[in-house]
Amino acid sequence: MPINIFFCYAHEDEELLNKLKAQLVPLKRQHLIDVWHDRDINAGTAWELEIDKHLNSAQIILLLISPDFMNSDYCYSIEMKRALERHKRGEAHVIPVILRHVYWQGIIGKIQALPKDGKPITDHRWHNLDEAFYNVAEGIRKVVEEEQGKQPPPLGTTLLVDNIHITQKQAPSLTLPFPESIFHYNVLHLPVADEFYGRVRDRTTLIRRTKNGDSTSVIGSRRIGKTWLIDYLKLVAPFTYGLDSNCRIGYLDASQSSCETLSGFISQSLEVLGNATLFSAHADINMVILERAVKSLISNKLIPILCIDEFDDICRKRDEFNINFLKHLRSIAVMGLVLVIASKRSIIEIEREISGSHDITSNFFNIFEQLTLKPFVAEEAKKFAHEKSIQAGFSDEERERLLEYGQIDGASWPPLRLQLVGNMLLLDKNAAIENSHYYRPNDLSYWRDFEMRLEEKYQAVIG
């Protein structure tokens, strides 16, 4: 069967797109490929749904990279994002085709680009455009041949499965993705920045304050997404103007045994900020050492950013972490250390517990801006359900089930619960490939059992 190829491009590059299509005609005439792009949409068709359908079924996705492509929100944030997700899961082969000079290496990563060595199509070192596009077509032809080799044999072909000879029409269709590749349930750290959904105001505020050298307190209930927000900052900082080349981000979990003591906390802070070797000779590790480390980084024109997760655990060790510790931490923050602190309670509540008094004024009253993470609202949940359902191959009814069982109190959707519901649905659908008993969407008893299993799993995680 022909390999389906999807073109992702900016309309400003349509002339170059057509020249590439002309070079691929021989592969099409040999019935090796079918090609598709948005100009093939018929009048009156819902264009976004049509693009989604072809983008999510293509075996090869060509990203036609240019300044206009990078400048297009739709190409960059939607089409390329989905393409790279499918490439990462092994569902499609993404090939960047560099049309015109633009920075792309740090964005697309290590995916092999065409033409050879990533030399743009319009580069003066090519004799003409035909030579450049021929180089691209040859590279695509090799990938097409690889993809052809992955296709299942035709129906009726004899296969050997577990030492039993069966025909291809009897073989199970193992085409569903693994649940863990789409729904990141109970995953401590954010796998990639694109997996951070919703909370646009919170992440925008965090990035803006961090760029400005200001500290932020992130609070919220258990498993609401505080760690993922910190991870998002760490992942996007290298590609954020103002943070890309001059920041030093360190992350530590205050609940770890290595942070049980003040000296352990400081040693861990030095290590994650990249200053461990500078001060390893000091027998007495104290807050002055951390202060000197911060000064050292600032003198080298670096922004030191220390992310402290599970900060609540600090207050449980009052012998080690007292009010003087908080005062010294504040003074270092005033000096230039950017703090991003995640906790279940506000900083003032933690300070009051450490001091044993409810009458104190916060040491950080003019240092932190507080971000309070809450469950998704309807629009955030719908966007999550829409995009994840496309990735998982869910029907409209299954998408509605994802939203129905993902909500609590009738109006809020905890991200963890949405991930769990999607994971369970896809797991059941996978299990039903071998035994249809595991997924019976038209059976009310199935959904009653599903809800019971869901509540058991969810409550076990959130505590």
pLDDT attached to residue 280: 52
pLDDT attached to residue 216: 96
Q: Are strands 33-36 and 3-8 parallel, antiparallel or unpaired?
A: parallel
Residue 450's nearest CA partner among 428, 417, 418, 419 is 428
pLDDT attached to residue 168: 44
pLDDT average, residue stretch 92-106: 90
pLDDT attached to residue 314: 81
pLDDT attached to residue 191: 85
CATH of the domain at 232: 3.40.50.300
CATH of the domain at 28: 3.40.50.10140
pLDDT attached to residue 8: 92
pTM equals 0.65
Is 261 within the bounds of a domain?
yes
The pLDDT of residue 197 is above 90: yes
Is 155 within the bounds of a domain?
no
With beta carbons less than 8 A apart as the criterion, state whether 270 and 214 touch: no
The pLDDT of residue 152 is above 70: no
Q: Strand, coil or helix: what is 379?
A: helix
What is the C-alpha to C-alpha distance for residues 70 and 80, in angstroms, rounded to an integer? 10
pLDDT attached to residue 425: 96
> Is 323 in the same domain as 250?
yes
Q: Strand, coil or helix: what is 59?
A: coil
With beta carbons less than 8 A apart as the criterion, state whether 63 and 111 touch: no
Identify the weakest region by mean pLDDT among 20-24, 92-96, 283-287: 283-287
Q: At what angle do helices 262-272 and 287-299 cross, to 10 degrees?
A: 10
> Is 9 in the same domain as 98?
yes
Tokens representing 309 are: 């997760």
> Is 416 in the same domain as 431?
yes
> Is 412 in the same domain as 352?
no
Is 290 within the bounds of a domain?
yes
What is the C-alpha to C-alpha distance for residues 215 and 228, in angstroms, rounded to an integer? 17
- The residue out of 342, 372, 402 marking a domain boundary is 372
> Is 28 in the same domain as 108?
yes
DSSP state of 118: G
Banded model confidence at residue 139, pLDDT cuts 50, 70, 90:
very high
DSSP state of 85: H
pLDDT digits (tens, 9 = 90+) for 430-452: 899 889 999 999 999 999 999 99
The pLDDT of residue 46 is above 60: no
Is 231 within the bounds of a domain?
yes
Residue 203's nearest CA partner among 336, 139, 110, 195 is 195
> Is 357 in the same domain as 212?
yes
Identify residue 301 by its one-letter amino acid code: K
Give, for 454, the enclosing helix (H) or strand (E).
helix 444-462
What is the C-alpha to C-alpha distance for residues 73 and 376, in angstroms, rounded to an integer? 23
> 10 Å Cβ neighbour count for 21?
16
> Is 328 in the same domain as 207?
yes
Higher pLDDT, 91 or 370: 370
DSSP state of 345: S
Is 157 within the bounds of a domain?
no
Residue 421's nearest CA partner among 395, 443, 453, 446 is 453
> Is 31 in the same domain as 127?
yes
DSSP state of 426: H
The pLDDT of residue 44 is above 70: no
> Is 289 in the same domain as 411?
no
Q: Note down the domain range covering 223.
A: 199-372
pLDDT attached to residue 2: 85
Identify the weakest region by mean pLDDT among 11-20, 215-224, 242-251: 242-251
Banded model confidence at residue 167, pLDDT cuts 50, 70, 90:
very low
> Is 368 in the same domain as 380?
no
Is 174 within the bounds of a domain?
no
pLDDT attached to residue 172: 42
pLDDT average, residue stretch 197-203: 93
pLDDT digits (tens, 9 = 90+) for 4-32: 999 999 999 999 999 999 999 999 988 89
Contacts of 422 (CB under 8 A, 6+ apart): 179, 182, 183, 185, 388, 392, 402, 406
- The residue out of 372, 397, 425 marking a domain boundary is 372
What would you measure as the largest C-alpha separation in the chain, in angstroms?
A: 81
- The residue out of 355, 372, 389 marking a domain boundary is 372
Is 170 within the bounds of a domain?
no
pLDDT attached to residue 463: 77
- Please identify which residue in the block is written with the tokens 């190829």: 5
Quote the number of domains for the chain: 3
> Is 216 in the same domain as 364?
yes
Banded model confidence at residue 158, pLDDT cuts 50, 70, 90:
very low
Alpha helices in 186-236 (DSSP H): 200-211, 226-236
The pLDDT of residue 325 is above 60: yes
> Is 103 in the same domain as 223?
no
Report how many helices (DSSP H) and strands (DSSP E) the chain contains, helices first: 17, 11
Is 103 within the bounds of a domain?
yes
